[in-house]
Amino acid sequence: MVESDRSAVPAEDYRDTYPGFQRPPALVQTLNDTEEAIRQRLARLRLFDRIFLLHRDWMTRITMLMIILSVFWGAVGAFDIFGFQSQVVGLATGGPVELSNQEIYSSLTLHGIRMLFGFAQQLEMAFFGFLLVNVLGLTPRYKWRLYTSVALINLSIILIEGPIYLVPFNDNYFPAVGWYFLSPLGVANDSLYVVSPLWFLGWLALASSVLLWTWWMVSHFMVWYRAQPANYRRLPVFVLFILVTLVLIPLTYVPLLVSTVWDLGAYFGNWAMNPLANQVIFWMFGHGIVYILFLLPIAGLYLLFPILARRPPYSYRWAFVAAVMFVLLTPLLGLHHLYLAPIPSWSVWLTMALSFLIIIPSAITFFSLWMTLKGVPRSQWEWNAVALFALLAFAGSILGGLSGPVVATVPWDVDLHNSFFVLSHFHALTILSITAGGFALAYAFFPILTGRSWYSSRLALGHFLLTAVGGVGVVLAMDDLGSLGVLRRSFILPMLPQLTEYQLLLFGSIIVVLLGQLLFVLNGFLTVFWGSLFSSSGLSFDEAVRQAAQSTCPTHRHVPIEDRPFARRVSRARRERVEQLWVGTVAILLIVVLAMYTPAVLSTSNAIGSAGTAPPGTEFVVLSGQQYYWTVGESGRVNGTFDNVVVAYAGQWINVNATAVGATQGFYLPVRDEQVVNFQVVPGSESHALFQAPSDPGVYGAPDSEYDGPWFGQDVTALIVLPAPGPFPTLAPFQSSGGGGDIYNPPIYASATADLVADSLGLFNASVPGPTLTASAGPVSFQWSVPLSSIGVNNYLVNVTSSAPNQQQQYVIDHNYSLPESFGIWGIHPSAGLASVTNSSLRINSVEVETATLLPGVYLYGVIHPVDYSYDPSSDSGVTTGSDRGFVMGLWGVLWVNT
Amino acid sequence: MSASTSSESSWSSPFAIFGYAMVAASAMAIAEIAYYSTDPALSAASLGTTGGIVVAVIAFVLFGLWGAPNE
């Protein structure tokens, strides 16, 4: 441990938990003895001794263990996203898909969980614990409380992965749920996709771990606090923000416990489920956790800026105001993830106002940090890795922070909800702010922990450059994808050239970031074995940090590390004047912007929560979400019942009444040239929308905008916009207008030359709906095929429970290359709905030509009803492992026959 | 403007470097956000927040330059 000059009370004033005359409880004694035996045995191996610091005190050992485990989970999480993005890029470039839908979406889910909790949360716990004990000059205690916390957080990440069967090998029960799991998705009896109960137990273990660690931290803080009354000293600003974290953790993790216990009760005990209420509770956690992690760079920068600059923070009082505001506001903002759900408009407005209000503590924080450096001469500043990562965390916080008000703005959320823009904002904060702040602290603390200076300043510089360049690339690529209207978690994507280009940019940027992290790990490894000895003996904490940072400076000109007395020359009033003006300006801006948006906020929210007044001639549409498709009932100028198809006339008003079962679904119609329609439908609630159909007749894509399980990608509805009665036009105007800017519109092919070929995902030409075929009235034909090679365990078309290779193909062969689903052409008659023109059983592995004589109008082709599919490759599905059933549509499209 | 010292007026002081980084990050964020304003369907939804952010960034820089040094 490092001696601190900040300690008000000498270390010897603190008695350890168990003084020499008092023996610890038997269990603790046994644990201590066991740990000591293991430690001594492992310490004989140089590899373990050096890496895990087995020769050091227990606090240092546990801190190092947490850092190593957090880096481990970070590496696994990086591998997850590498796997996911390789599949996306493979699909976008016409390559094969190697992983199952379940594996692909599990990769994404586990990427989020491992990064957020295994890596970032654990790293924050390691650093904050190390800091609090060192800075307050405490003797660490309650070792087994901390050990248990560490064990639980790492156990939680393992549990969340779900069961893995070794014989026969089956790892498909990984959770394809989404880290922001939204009840009732995954809950048995409520959802078609059922996650393993281990998933919920993992979340309980995670919450228990972090709450236990908080108890450990508070216990130490109280030891310090009780010793202070007669000789109270002001806490350093960064300790204030650590305390903010300790307050926010129960306010954040207890809601997680509540929503998880509720899910488990519904899973096993048939407790009544109210998904909307459950989601509201969950988002108190889902949003709060981001701020808890964001406090890592904030506390880190408030620690490092004064140390590196050798002067105190600019304004203690305003930092205190910011800390209090973070505590008060953070728990209240979760609802802004549910702007498009049917919740009261006043609560939506209030959440938006509070979301704007939390800009103030952020504005105070980064202004104060910047001003802390004002007046620091260049000659007293060293650009080592600590300073560089502090710079990146500072800039990254601003980059990510400024896009925050955007996603907090309700009318804009209609356009961007769940789009890649949200991911761009989020990853600016996670990579460029939280992770960069964590690395700044890591470069400062590692030599203190290990007793060795960093091995290579060049590797540290390379780590910084690759992280910065790759991180910015990730943020930009995600922003570009968001600007096109691409939804997050999108795996099946429109085959647009610029979209493929951005996906490649994203993949390349991810690789650059990962290469950077390899340099960090390599440097750490080299440091513990071959780094020069580092001693903090006789140094203050600040001096030790400066000395540690110096070992990462690529130049040989170093600034002195010694503390120097700092005498204030500028009065507090003068410094605070500018803070007051800055905060006042921000507050006025927020009030003005909020006032501007208030009417739009209320009208947007009211329109989702209650049915609007329908103008004459409105088409009434009842949407019933079935997890992977909508059943559609229409009355008005068009009457009928469809699956994943809505039909209306150009410019006609459409009044939607929507419900859902199994999972929250979203209806996203991104006709960018005219309007974007976007609303969430939560099971147990009704959502509404009143909008005009686009003015150009054509076929528009409306994907599900809420992740609802492994066949999320296949869930795209077609809005068929009919021309006014009269001659039926071609789709030329629709094509020339770019389909209104809706990228999810299926491509358009002339039927006579179309060659529809199914892929391994059960889609024609990698598009869902399949390509829109055009023809003139009269004899119409098109060619299609479903190759035998496209049939496999991941293709929903063949419902065979087996993991044996080619069993699905053998099923097809055994059934004479014919499947029971009907494939054909159906006409859409505005007055009566669907009418079959021709259909027969689905033929596999032969080139078929569908032929019919058709009148002008709109038709559906393919398999136009969902296929009931159970993904159970090893017959292991059940209550203890999870199960996965889907009603999936993919092999269908629209046939447009003009006059 | 407050009386400036030789250190704070230096283009390469840490205050200046962090200022450049802040301006670059803000410019990138505003460019990302403003991109949406070029879309006719989205501009009305974006202008208020975008305008507020631009004014805030300008105010951040001006107040920072005007404010007293940390001395």
Residues with Cβ within 8 Å of A594's Cβ and at least 6 positions away in sequence, in order, are: A352, A353, A356
Q: Are strands A818-829 and A857-862 parallel, antiparallel or unpaired?
A: antiparallel
Is B2 a residue whose pLDDT tops 80? no
CB-based contact B52 A600, cutoff 8 Å = no
Q: Is the ipTM of this complex over 0.85?
A: yes
Least confident stretch, A486-495, A555-564, A617-626: A555-564
Interface test with A, best of B5, B32, B63 (most A CBs within 10 A): B32
> What is the separation of C-alpha A882 from the centre of its chain, rounded to a whole number of angstroms?
22
- From the number of C-beta atoms within 10 Å of its C-beta (0-12, 13-18, 19+), residue A573 rates as exposed
> In this predicted model, what pLDDT tens digit does every residue of A199-240 receive, in sequence order?
999 999 999 999 999 999 999 999 988 887 665 667 899 999
Is A19 a residue whose pLDDT tops 80? no
Q: What sign for the dihedral angle of Cα A588, A591, A594, A599? A: negative
Q: So what's the pLDDT on residue A10?
A: 34
Q: Which of A375, A409, A593 sits opposite B8 (nearest CB)?
A: A375
DSSP 8-state symbol, A612: P
Residues with Cβ within 8 Å of A299's Cβ and at least 6 positions away in sequence, in order, are: A128, A131, A238, A239, A241, A242, A245
Determine the number of helices (DSSP H) and then strands (DSSP E) in chain B.
2, 0
Q: So what's the pLDDT on residue A108?
A: 94
Is A688 a residue whose pLDDT tops 90? yes
DSSP track, A414-433: HHHTTBHHHHHHHHHHIIII
Residues of B in contact with A579 (CB under 8 A): 67
* A158 and B CB contact within 8 Å: no
Of A60, A83, A88, nearest in space to A486 by CA: A88
Contact A260, A205 (CB under 8 A): no
* B18 and A CB contact within 8 Å: yes
Q: So what's the pLDDT on residue A270?
A: 86
Q: Which of A309, A396, A406 sits opposite B33 (nearest CB)?
A: A406
Residues with Cβ within 8 Å of A227's Cβ and at least 6 positions away in sequence, in order, are: A8, A9, A13, A14
CB-based contact B22 A394, cutoff 8 Å = yes
Residue A611 CA to residue A604 CA, distance in Å, equals 12
Q: How far is A370 from chain B (nearest CA, A)?
A: 7
Buried b (16+ CB within 10 A) or exposed e, A823-852: bbbbbbebeebbeebebeebbbeeebebeb
CB-based contact B55 A589, cutoff 8 Å = yes
Q: Which amino acid is present at A647?
A: V
Task: Return the percent helix, strand and coil in chain B, to nearest 5.
Answer: 70, 0, 30
Of the pLDDT bands very low, low, confident and very high (cuts 50, 70, 90), residue A15 is very low
- The helix or strand, by DSSP H or E, that contains position A824, with its residue range, turns out to be strand A818-829
Buried b (16+ CB within 10 A) or exposed e, A443-477: bbbbbbbbbbbbbbbebbbbbbebbbebbbbbbbb
Determine the number of helices (DSSP H) and then strands (DSSP E) in chain A.
23, 24
Bridge partner residues of A757 (DSSP):
A785
Q: How far is A595 from chain B (nearest CA, A)?
A: 10
For the CA atoms of A191, A194, A195, A201, the dihedral, rounded to the nearest 10 degrees, stands at 70
> In this predicted model, what pLDDT tens digit does every residue of A42-64 receive, in sequence order?
999 989 999 999 999 999 999 99
Bridge partner residues of A635 (DSSP):
A620
Please report where in the chains the tokens 């087994």 appear, as a residue: A144
Of A446, A310, A323, nearest in space to A381 by CA: A310
* B67 and A CB contact within 8 Å: yes
Provide the token pair at A659: 């419900």
Is A736 a residue whose pLDDT tops 50? yes
Of A473, A475, A496, nearest in space to A486 by CA: A496
Q: So what's the pLDDT on residue B4?
A: 43
Q: Which of B13, B17, B52 sits opposite A593 (nearest CB)?
A: B52
Of A428, A474, A440, nearest in space to A369 by CA: A440
Q: Which of B10, B39, B40 sits opposite A378 (nearest CB)?
A: B10
Average pLDDT over residues A410-436: 93
Q: So what's the pLDDT on residue A519?
A: 98
Residue A416 CA to residue A745 CA, distance in Å, equals 18
Of the pLDDT bands very low, low, confident and very high (cuts 50, 70, 90), residue B61 is very high
CB-based contact B14 A314, cutoff 8 Å = no
**Mean pLDDT across chain A, nearest whole number?**
92
Residue A419 CA to residue A403 CA, distance in Å, equals 13
How many beta carbons lie within 10 A of that of residue A47, not counting itself? 10
Of B47, B53, B36, nearest in space to A362 by CA: B53
Q: What percent of chain A has pLDDT over 70?
A: 97
CB-based contact B71 A568, cutoff 8 Å = yes
Least confident stretch, A149-163, A441-455, A860-874: A860-874
The angle formed by the CA atoms of residues A259, A265 and A271, to the nearest 5 degrees, is: 105
Q: How far is B38 from chain A (nearest CA, A)?
A: 10
Residues of B in contact with A414 (CB under 8 A): 45
Length of chain A: 899
> In this predicted model, what pLDDT tens digit does every residue of A252-294 receive, in sequence order?
999 999 999 999 999 998 899 999 999 999 999 999 999 999 9
Residue A283 CA to residue A331 CA, distance in Å, equals 9
Q: Phi and psi at residue A779, in whole multiples of 5°?
A: -65, 125
Q: Which residue of B has its CA nearest to A597?
A: B48
CB-based contact B53 A405, cutoff 8 Å = yes
Q: So what's the pLDDT on residue A4?
A: 38
Of A309, A313, A288, nearest in space to A299 by CA: A313
How many pairs of residues across A and B have Cβ atoms under 8 Å apart? 174
CB-based contact A574 B40, cutoff 8 Å = no
Q: Which amino acid is present at B11?
A: W
Residues of B in contact with A405 (CB under 8 A): 49, 52-53
Residue A620 CA to residue A405 CA, distance in Å, equals 35
Contact A742, A670 (CB under 8 A): yes
Q: What sign for the dihedral angle of Cα B19, B22, B28, B29? A: negative
Residue A93 CA to residue B34 CA, distance in Å, equals 30
Is A3 a residue whose pLDDT tops 80? no
Q: Which residue of A has its CA nearest to B13?
A: A378
Least confident stretch, A114-128, A333-347, A431-445: A333-347
Residue A293 CA to residue A289 CA, distance in Å, equals 6
> What is the separation of C-alpha A789 from the centre of its chain, rounded to a whole number of angstroms?
34
Average pLDDT over residues A173-198: 89
Provide the token pair at A804: 């044996």
Q: So what's the pLDDT on residue A231?
A: 58
The angle formed by the CA atoms of residues B25, A328 and A412, to the nearest 5 degrees, is: 45
Q: Which residue of B has its CA nearest to A600?
A: B45
> In this predicted model, what pLDDT tens digit does every residue of A78-135 receive, in sequence order?
999 999 999 999 988 888 788 888 889 999 999 999 999 999 999 999 999 999 998 8
Q: Which of B46, B52, B71 sits opposite A375 (nearest CB)?
A: B71
Q: Which of B18, B60, B70 sits opposite A394 (nearest CB)?
A: B18
* A371 and B CB contact within 8 Å: yes
> In this predicted model, what pLDDT tens digit does every residue of A795-842 receive, in sequence order?
999 988 776 768 889 999 999 999 999 999 999 999 989 999 999 999
Is A737 a residue whose pLDDT tops 60? yes
How many beta carbons lie within 10 A of that of residue A821, not counting itself? 17
* B3 and A CB contact within 8 Å: no
Q: What percent of chain B has pLDDT over 70?
A: 77
Of A169, A168, A244, A251, nearest in space to A207 by CA: A251
First to last CA, chain B: 16
Between the alpha carbon of residue A382 and those of residues A268, A575, A678, the distances in Å are 59, 25, 50
Q: So what's the pLDDT on residue B42?
A: 67
Q: So what's the pLDDT on residue A5?
A: 36
First to last CA, chain A: 84
Q: Which of B35, B48, B64 sits opposite A370 (nearest CB)?
A: B64
Q: What sign for the dihedral angle of Cα A567, A572, A578, A582? A: positive
Q: So what's the pLDDT on residue A9?
A: 32
Residues of A in contact with B18 (CB under 8 A): 370, 373, 391, 394
